[in-house]
A and B are shown apart, each in its own frame.
Chain A
Amino acid sequence: MLDFPRWKQAWFWFLTLFAAVAALPSLFSLANARWPDALPNPVIHLGLDLAGGSHILLEANPDQVTRQRLETMEESVRTKMRLASPAIRIGDISSKDGKLSFMLDDPTKVDVVRDLVQPLTSGAGLTGQRDWDIQIADGSRFVMTPTKAGIDLAVSQAMDTATEVVRKRIDALGTREPTIIRQGADRIVVQVPGLKDPAALKSLLGQTAKLEFKLVDTTASPSDIAQGIAPPGSQIVPYADPTKSGVTAIAVKRLGGIKGDQLTNAQQTNDQRNNEPVVSITFDQQGGAKFAKLTTENVNRPFAIILDGKVLSAPNINEPILGGSAQISGSFTVESANQLAIALRSGALPVDLRVIEERSVGPDLGADSIRKGIIAMLVGTIAILVLIALSYGRFGLYADFALVINVLMILGIMAIANVSLTLPGIAGFVLTIGAAVDANVLINERIREERRRGRKVMQAVEFGYKEASRTIFDANITHIIAATLMFAFGSGPIKGFAVVLMIGIVTSVFTAVYLTRMWVALWLRKARPADLNI
């Protein structure tokens, strides 16, 4: 018991000191004091529930990815057939039920077409898996079905891009320290501390910002459009703001338009004619060339500017636009034009994102929580310290010191490991402080008991630590088991609770059992008391 080698002592003191130093910056920041900038600064981060801010969970709708892939495949197949020499005529093209099917006019060309289409279906991955299955029915009908692996890969890639786009958009808002993490197959978590207006953020993230320019199909009759019947090769697209345009929808040609994704810049400006807010876009070289071609070939025809499947406006092309820049108008406010500009600058989202969970805490409530939380913890801790000192005398003081070091260690480790402190985390904190106190109570009660049974001082202390340690070990193992499982299976708040519990259990066993034991041993060796006041 008394045998405590110097290296062990040094090691214990080092750990204690290290934890205390690691906790200092956090204590300074909680007390609103300034910590010198030159020193390392691992401050404990407060969770959004304490600091105020927004937590937003976005879920992608993979349908859009699959639809997009069908469209691209359709265009590729058409191009291949057109470019083949001699050109192969196909018809009855449809992309229903997530499958692309088309018919050959000349059934004898089945093998040629198969050879032409085959290269389009090989996967991008190295696995050699095909992205599409080809089936030939009735001798001349090709049916192309996307494979599961192909869709998964495409969705995964789209999610990677989407995460990047979300990051760019949030950065453009100028918020500080946002956290953006991809979660699972189709989700993105966004956490932004100290946000004043979560609504703006949400509408920015909810905007796919897919900009398209498509030619208006002027052959469609208004009554057909009203009934939703489009001429072959065209589709009906609704207006974003029917009250202003006067009509609810318009027919546009499905193919032959261009996408507005090849931009170098997008900015909110004002229309010189009527001073309405508009968005000015600048194409990059390639995009500019495509746009110039489209406008040159279709002078005096209307084209529709479509954003996220809704027509903003359908102006007439008065002259070829060759400068590579354009203006988008469509009953914007300055704010919404600005948002669209940000969204266009950061690129379109390859998938629609939907907010499925939102938690926002106002900064006032957060500040209130922190202040009251600290006061409550301080009062509670001081009361405990007094009670223990009164109950166990010198041994109680050792336990008190250990408890204070325990708190510092937990804070220090959380700061270094970058674990945020949340409200459930405070619960974990309370439980570990309880466990630490309990350990010392168990030890001291046992020593008391052994003394009453007539054991000598040294023996009683040694026995007390030994017997109590077994109980403490069992109790803490169960806590660790619980915390691990909660961490593995739980969600948000439960995880926050579990992390603090895990850290706290380790530190409380160290401080409450090992540290106090060292102090007691050193004191016993020096003082050699004949009796214990415990």
Chain B
Amino acid sequence: MRLLKLVPDNTNIRFIRWQWPTTVVSALLMIASFVLLYTQGLNLGVDFVGGQMIRVTFTQSHEAPVAVLRGEIEKLGYGEPIIQTFGAPNAISIRLRLPEGSDKTAGLADAMTRKITGTIKAAHADARVDGVDSVSGKVSNELGWTAFKALGFASIAISIYIWFRFEWQFGVGALLSLVHDVTLTLGLFALTQMEFDLTIVAAVLTVIGYSLNDTIVVYDRIRENLKKFRKMPLAELLDLSVNETLHRTVMTSATILITLTALLVLGPRVIFGFSAALILGIFVATYSSIYAAAPMLIWLNVTSKSFVPTETELDRQERLARERS
């Protein structure tokens, strides 16, 4: 039986030749992401800014009456709601700030929930309240901080590990390509204004994990080839390493993208944003392991000497003894 090959054997694509154009593209995309993050910002969910989110599905309608709802809720005097569909056109999330003083007086947030859900149910017979998230400012600050700590510590610890296992250039390379992947993923969230909540943080963590996995596979091959072909120019060696691992890269990305596409298309609508974030992140991570992680090593000046074991005192004595005899 002839086996399926997503990439032909013995490819010799000269990836590194394109390192400058791709670097420019990467840099531009990163700048664009930063600009978007600065100007538009992330559409932070109640997890991070506090407030109340009510999820409603209109079971008999094709599309949720967003404009009508906005008017109805504004009349209640809790401020202007953010209403977004999620997953399906007839499912929406309504976000509002918690009423003034709700951190002191119990029951204010509850009263708000009851008023809003009551109004919606009275006006729309097919409205089904699917969930309420109510997060006080205190908790949202903590959630934001813990998410940030978890992301930061994990990234740094992994880079240190790679530094120990490989060389410092690899650790820096891995960390920078990770920053690249996370920035672009966040930039996309700023661009599309999809809601950014704790679940998306889990998605970003997955992207980090995947990005590192990819980077390590390529780096591992580079290290092996550096030891094997000491005379080969670095650019050529990087090309060889990337080509050798290309089938694996494509194959693994393909399998994980298949699972994620299934989750996106068939999965629960609660995780639509989550699956979308992952798919984008995986694309970026695959690209960066080839075009950011590998060329980075050229700029950081990795040579095959990086892996030549340095002579210990014992070695020196042995060598001298050999030379004398």
- The complex places the Cα of A4 from the Cα of B278 at a distance, in Å, of 40
| Chain A positions 422-466 with a Cβ under 8 Å from a chain B Cβ | 423-424, 426-428, 430-431, 433-435, 437-438, 441-442, 445, 449, 452
B185 neighbours in A (Cβ, 8 Å): none
Q: Are A355 and B220 in contact (CB under 8 A)?
A: no
B9 neighbours in A (Cβ, 8 Å): 452
Q: Which of A117-125, A170-178, A315-323, A364-372 interfaces with chain B? A: A364-372
A372 neighbours in B (Cβ, 8 Å): 266-269
Residue on A nearest B105 in the bound complex, by CB: A354
- The complex places the Cα of A245 from the Cα of B311 at a distance, in Å, of 94
A348-388, CB under 8 A of B: which get 1 and which 0?
A: 00001011111111101100111011011101110110011
B3 neighbours in A (Cβ, 8 Å): 390-393, 533-534
| Chain B positions 268-307 with a Cβ under 8 Å from a chain A Cβ | 268-271, 274, 278
- The complex places the Cα of A422 from the Cα of B202 at a distance, in Å, of 12
Residue on A nearest B220 in the bound complex, by CB: A471
Q: Are A433 and B146 in contact (CB under 8 A)?
A: no
A135: min CB distance to chain B, Å:
33
Cβ of B188 under 8 Å from chain A: no
Partner of B271 from the list A360, A423, A482, A497 (CB cut-off 8 Å) is: A423
A486 neighbours in B (Cβ, 8 Å): 150, 154, 205
B110 neighbours in A (Cβ, 8 Å): 199, 202-203, 355
Q: Are A474 and B220 in contact (CB under 8 A)?
A: yes
Partner of A491 from the list B146, B254, B255, B268 (CB cut-off 8 Å) is: B146
Q: Size range of the interface on A? A: 35 or more
Q: Are A198 and B202 in contact (CB under 8 A)?
A: no
Cβ of A206 under 8 Å from chain B: yes
- The complex places the Cα of A424 from the Cα of B273 at a distance, in Å, of 12
Residue on A nearest B197 in the bound complex, by CB: A493
Cβ of B320 under 8 Å from chain A: no
Partner of B267 from the list A202, A373, A496 (CB cut-off 8 Å) is: A373
Q: Are B266 and A478 in contact (CB under 8 A)?
A: no
- The complex places the Cα of A108 from the Cα of B220 at a distance, in Å, of 86
B251 neighbours in A (Cβ, 8 Å): 391, 441, 445
| Chain B positions 104-162 with a Cβ under 8 Å from a chain A Cβ | 106-107, 109-110, 113-114, 128-136, 138-139, 142-143, 146-147, 149-150, 153-154, 157-158, 161-162
Q: A376-B267, A478-B213 are in contact. Are A491 and B143 (CB under 8 A)?
A: yes
- The complex places the Cα of A383 from the Cα of B161 at a distance, in Å, of 34
Q: Are B131 and A362 in contact (CB under 8 A)?
A: yes
Q: Are A482 and B205 in contact (CB under 8 A)?
A: yes
Partner of A481 from the list B109, B130, B157, B270 (CB cut-off 8 Å) is: B157
B1-45, CB under 8 A of A: which get 1 and which 0?
A: 101111001100000000000000000000000000000000000
Partner of A388 from the list B57, B131, B133, B255 (CB cut-off 8 Å) is: B255
Please give the number of chain B residues whose Cβ is less than 8 angstroms from any Cβ of chain A in the complex.
81
B269 neighbours in A (Cβ, 8 Å): 368, 372
A123: min CB distance to chain B, Å:
30
Q: Are B216 and A369 in contact (CB under 8 A)?
A: no
Q: Are A358 and B133 in contact (CB under 8 A)?
A: yes
Partner of B202 from the list A387, A485, A488, A493 (CB cut-off 8 Å) is: A493
Q: Are A442 and B57 in contact (CB under 8 A)?
A: no
- The complex places the Cα of A211 from the Cα of B152 at a distance, in Å, of 49
Partner of B209 from the list A49, A362, A431 (CB cut-off 8 Å) is: A431
Q: Are B4 and A387 in contact (CB under 8 A)?
A: yes
- The complex places the Cα of A289 from the Cα of B210 at a distance, in Å, of 70
Q: Are A445 and B247 in contact (CB under 8 A)?
A: yes
Cβ of A11 under 8 Å from chain B: no
Dominant SS among interface residues on chain B:
helix
A475 neighbours in B (Cβ, 8 Å): 212-213, 216-217
Q: Which of B65-73, B231-239, B257-265 interfaces with chain A? A: B257-265
Q: A364-B130, A391-B4, A437-B255 are in contact. Are A423 and B270 (CB under 8 A)?
A: yes
Q: Are A489 and B150 in contact (CB under 8 A)?
A: yes
Most buried by A among B130, B135, B157, B210: B130
- The complex places the Cα of A273 from the Cα of B149 at a distance, in Å, of 63
Q: Are B216 and A358 in contact (CB under 8 A)?
A: no
B35: min CB distance to chain A, Å:
28
Q: Are A441 and B149 in contact (CB under 8 A)?
A: no
Q: A202-B110, A364-B128, A392-B3 are in contact. Are A490 and B266 (CB under 8 A)?
A: no
Cβ of B95 under 8 Å from chain A: no
Cβ of A259 under 8 Å from chain B: no
Q: Are A368 and B5 in contact (CB under 8 A)?
A: no
Q: A203-B110, A362-B130 are in contact. Are A485 and B198 (CB under 8 A)?
A: no
Cβ of B180 under 8 Å from chain A: no
Cβ of B97 under 8 Å from chain A: no
Residue on B nearest A199 in the bound complex, by CB: B110
A177-205, CB under 8 A of B: which get 1 and which 0?
A: 00000000000000000000011001100
Cβ of A86 under 8 Å from chain B: no
Q: A383-B262, A491-B143, A491-B146 are in contact. Are A427 and B203 (CB under 8 A)?
A: yes
Please name 4 further chain A to chain B contacts, defined as beta carbons within 8 Å, in addition to the given A203-B107, A471-B217, sorted by A numbering: A57-B139, A431-B210, A471-B220, A493-B202
Q: List 16 A-B contacts (CB under 8 A).
A: A57-B139, A358-B135, A360-B132, A364-B130, A365-B55, A365-B131, A368-B269, A424-B199, A427-B274, A434-B252, A438-B252, A441-B252, A445-B248, A478-B162, A485-B153, A491-B146
- The 7 A-B residue pairs with the shortest CB-CB distance, nearest first, are A380-B262, A369-B268, A380-B259, A376-B267, A365-B130, A490-B150, A424-B202
